[in-house]
């Protein structure tokens, strides 16, 4: 029913229902009963729908009572079953801006994207989570609003993705992030491999970048000459040019090379001559 409504009418109804109803986990509160004639009359009027208050009451209850959604992060991240994306009204009430769906079927992803008209990102359980975490978290951050992470049972890899998102945003370890998810959702079943992938991903995120190289190795393929020079300035481009080897130069003069086959000699830059102190009788 609501899928055919204009977006403006659906937004008005979702806003009115949000004043008296909640859809998230233990905080679920059903819309008002049919006895609340005033509420449903107002809701019917502001949404400009072509049904009376009784018909609207029935349609809303039938659609929202089957919704399974848990608010993991306030107004930003929700976890639930894939069936939740079928309710346009619920997605409007939760303010969902994008969907992450755990499935190995491309048809499911295409159907969800076409039905909801929202950005949809797939995560497949047959590929290690470690290979998908970076792209998935970037998708969630780039939505600029709430994300609904779902799977067939709202558990497993979907819960692991939520834990990874919590750890990424709040800068907490993977195990604590899983505990945060369980506090909202209840006991979840996250595979050991998924948990290890989350911990490894966080470790790699915290690793400092490697230091810049200190030396440049130059090799002349025809002669086998090797030179190792300190990188005091960015090297210019070199290589083969016209069939001849062109060295990487650090100064106007080409560097000296040391021919060697067993080891590489470091060519230290020459130090300026040290000034000798003046004799004492020259002072003053």
Taking the chain (284 residues) in consecutive chunks of 10 residues, what is each chunk's mean pLDDT?
75 79 64 75 72 78 80 90 88 92 91 93 92 93 92 89 91 89 89 89 71 71 70 52 44 47 43 52 46
**196 and 135, same structural domain?**
yes
Last residue of a domain, one of 47, 65, 83: 65
Exposure string of 35-73, with b = 16+ CB inside 10 Å and e = fewer, is eeeebbeebbeebebeeebeebbeebeebbeebbbbbbb
Cα(33)–Cα(35) distance, rounded to whole angstroms?
5
Structural domain boundaries, residue 192:
68-206
Residue 78 C-alpha from the chain's centroid: 15
Residue 190 is assigned to a structural domain of this protein: yes
Counting Cβ atoms within 10 Å, is residue 223 exposed (0-12), middle (13-18) or buried (19+)? exposed
Last residue of a domain, one of 44, 65, 86: 65
**79 and 44, same structural domain?**
no
Give the domain CATH number at 115. Answer: 3.90.190.10
Residue 118 is assigned to a structural domain of this protein: yes
Residue 72 is assigned to a structural domain of this protein: yes
Overall domain count for the chain: 2
**88 and 50, same structural domain?**
no
Residue 277 is assigned to a structural domain of this protein: no
Residue 230 is assigned to a structural domain of this protein: no
**161 and 60, same structural domain?**
no
Contact 133/166 with Cβ under 8 angstroms? Answer: no
For 212-215, the CB contacts below 8 A with 24+ separation are 215/266
Residue for token pair 């950005």: 119
User: Which pLDDT value is given to residue 112?
Assistant: 93
The CA-atom distances, in angstroms, between 172 and each of 71, 177, 203 are: 18, 6, 11
User: Which pLDDT value is given to residue 243?
Assistant: 44
What pTM was estimated for this model as a whole? 0.67
**179 and 103, same structural domain?**
yes
User: Which pLDDT value is given to residue 159?
Assistant: 93
**112 and 54, same structural domain?**
no
């Amino acid at each position: 029913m609501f899928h055919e409504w204009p977006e403006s009418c659906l937004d008005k109804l979702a806003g009115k229902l949000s004043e008296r109803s909640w859809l998230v986990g233990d905080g679920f509160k059903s819309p008002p009963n049919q006895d609340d004639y005033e509420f449903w009359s107002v809701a019917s009027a502001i949404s400009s729908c072509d049904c009376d208050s009784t018909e609207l009451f029935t349609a809303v209850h039938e659609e929202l009572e089957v919704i399974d959604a848990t608010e993991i992060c306030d107004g930003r991240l929700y976890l639930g079953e894939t069936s939740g994306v079928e309710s346009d009204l619920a997605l409007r009430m939760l303010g969902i801006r994008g969907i992450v769906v755990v499935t190995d079927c491309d048809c499911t992803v295409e159907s969800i994207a076409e039905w909801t008209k929202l950005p949809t990102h797939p995560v497949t359980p047959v590929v290690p989570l470690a290979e998908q975490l970076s792209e998935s978290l970037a998708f969630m951050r780039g939505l600029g609003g709430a994300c609904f992470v779902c799977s067939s049972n709202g558990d497993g890899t979907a819960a692991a993705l939520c834990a990874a998102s919590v750890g990424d945003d709040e800068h907490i370890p993977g195990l604590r992030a899983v505990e945060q998810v369980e506090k909202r959702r209840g006991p979840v079943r996250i595979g050991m491999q998924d948990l290890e992938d989350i911990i490894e991903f966080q470790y790699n995120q915290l690793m400092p970048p490697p230091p810049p190289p200190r030396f440049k190795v130059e090799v002349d393929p025809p002669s086998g000459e090797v030179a190792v020079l300190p990188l005091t300035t960015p090297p210019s481009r070199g290589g083969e040019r016209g069939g001849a080897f062109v060295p990487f130069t650090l100064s106007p003069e080409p560097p000296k090379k040391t021919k060697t086959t067993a080891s590489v000699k470091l060519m230290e830059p020459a130090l300026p001559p040290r000034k000798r102190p003046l004799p004492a009788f020259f002072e003053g």
